[in-house]
Amino acid sequence: MGSGRHTGFVTGKIPPETLLRTVYTNLGKKDKRVLVGPGIGRDSAAVKQDGTILVFTTDPITGTPTTTGARPKWYMCTILLPVGTREDSLREITREIHETAKRLGIAVVGSHTEATPGLDRPIISGFMVGETRGRVLSAEDGRPGDSILLTKTVGLEGTAILARDKAALLKKKGVPEGLLKLARSYQEQISVVEEALLTAKLKGVHALHDPTEGGVLNGLWEMAEASGLGIEVWAEKIPVAPATNVICLTLGLDPLKLMSSGTLLLAVEPSSRKAVQKALQKTHVRLTEVGRLTSRNKGRVLVKHERRQSLRAVSQDELYKLA
């Protein structure tokens, strides 16, 4: 559904099977310095440069290079604005970028800004570069038997967006302003820099991945796909914040398939789980075990209400169902 091969793409990520056919077969010249290149579930690319490893990503300014163990350092962006946008709106966007970058120790090193016909809202495309001298982690490094740990709660970014963009509808349906204000504050939690840098250094942490579009279920599928493994996910153990739960119930959405920037997935050797938990206690970040990686022949399974069902890639984020 919505694969684009015969029907055209729907809003959201391009399906994995399409990427395999059309994108990953067109990657230009091979370079032996590329340590991590494009692939399903890979958030970043890594290139060896002298004694340093540079990590690149085109995700927003939430610190995605950290999911490889690299510290984000330099940021560039393209800001596309609807024709007629006023200067104060652009100032608000750049001030938010500035404040976030400053808090994370990132330098904004360039940008391109223009008013573009055909847009109904601003579009910001960011490019981040990080560096590390240590090991490079990716979603593909999970091992059979690894525990899958999840930080914070799911659907943080999606909840904040819904509370902002669908406030009138939610109020009409009886959701109080206090809960909407709380939900909008979840936007402040979408950086994973601190917890990713902290856990990437720990022995027994094999893979990191930050689920975005398609929510945590898509992120879990991507981690299994990238590692070439099976996975068993326990739906009832996946933490959902009360505000996320209320908003999703009100709008008829699945919080497990809602945009989840701010959540970090870790594939961890079971014997190292307590060490990871202890390390994260310093940051007051919640940590929950939600599943385990298995051998590929055991399949990809979502256990929900004691029933086992197939875990598949999420074709479209819940957020776009209300577009």
* Per-residue b or e along 104-125, where b marks 16 or more CB atoms closer than 10 Å to that residue's CB: bebebeeeeeeeeeeeeebebe
pLDDT at 41: 72
**Which residues, 6+ apart, have CB-to-CB distance to 86 below 8 Å?**
none
Q: Above 50 in pLDDT, residue 321?
A: yes
Q: Above 90 in pLDDT, residue 34?
A: no
Q: Over range 19-30, report the average pLDDT.
A: 90
Dihedral (CA of 298, 299, 300, 303) sign: negative
| 212's tokens | 């975005």
Spatial distance between the Cα atoms of 270 and 323, rounded to a whole number of angstroms: 41
Spatial distance between the Cα atoms of 155 and 146, rounded to a whole number of angstroms: 24
pLDDT at 38: 83
Spatial distance between the Cα atoms of 251 and 166, rounded to a whole number of angstroms: 10
Spatial distance between the Cα atoms of 147 and 289, rounded to a whole number of angstroms: 7
Spatial distance between the Cα atoms of 216 and 233, rounded to a whole number of angstroms: 10
- Cα→Cα distances 58→85, 171, 173, 223, Å: 25, 35, 37, 19
Q: Over range 270-277, report the average pLDDT.
A: 94
As its CATH architecture, domain 16-132 has 2-Layer Sandwich (3.30)
* Residue ranges covered by each domain of the chain: 16-132, 139-322
What are the tens digits of pLDDT across the range 60-76?
443 344 555 578 899 99
**Residues β-bridged to residue 48:** 53
State the amino acid at position 5 in one-letter form.
R
Specify whether the CB–CB gap between 156 and 87 falls below 8 A. Answer: no
Q: How confident is the model at residue 93 (pLDDT cuts 50, 70, 90)?
A: very high
Please give the CATH topology (third level) of the domain spanning 139-322: Phosphoribosyl-aminoimidazole Synthetase; Chain A, domain 2 (3.90.650)
**Helix 242-251, helix 156-165: angle, nearest 10:** 60
| 128's tokens | 């981040």
Which residue did the predictor score with more confidence, 245 or 62? 245
**Which residues, 6+ apart, have CB-to-CB distance to 135 below 8 Å?**
69, 200
Average pLDDT, the chain: 89
Spatial distance between the Cα atoms of 6 and 306, rounded to a whole number of angstroms: 37
Spatial distance between the Cα atoms of 226 and 36, rounded to a whole number of angstroms: 12
Spatial distance between the Cα atoms of 14 and 21, rounded to a whole number of angstroms: 11
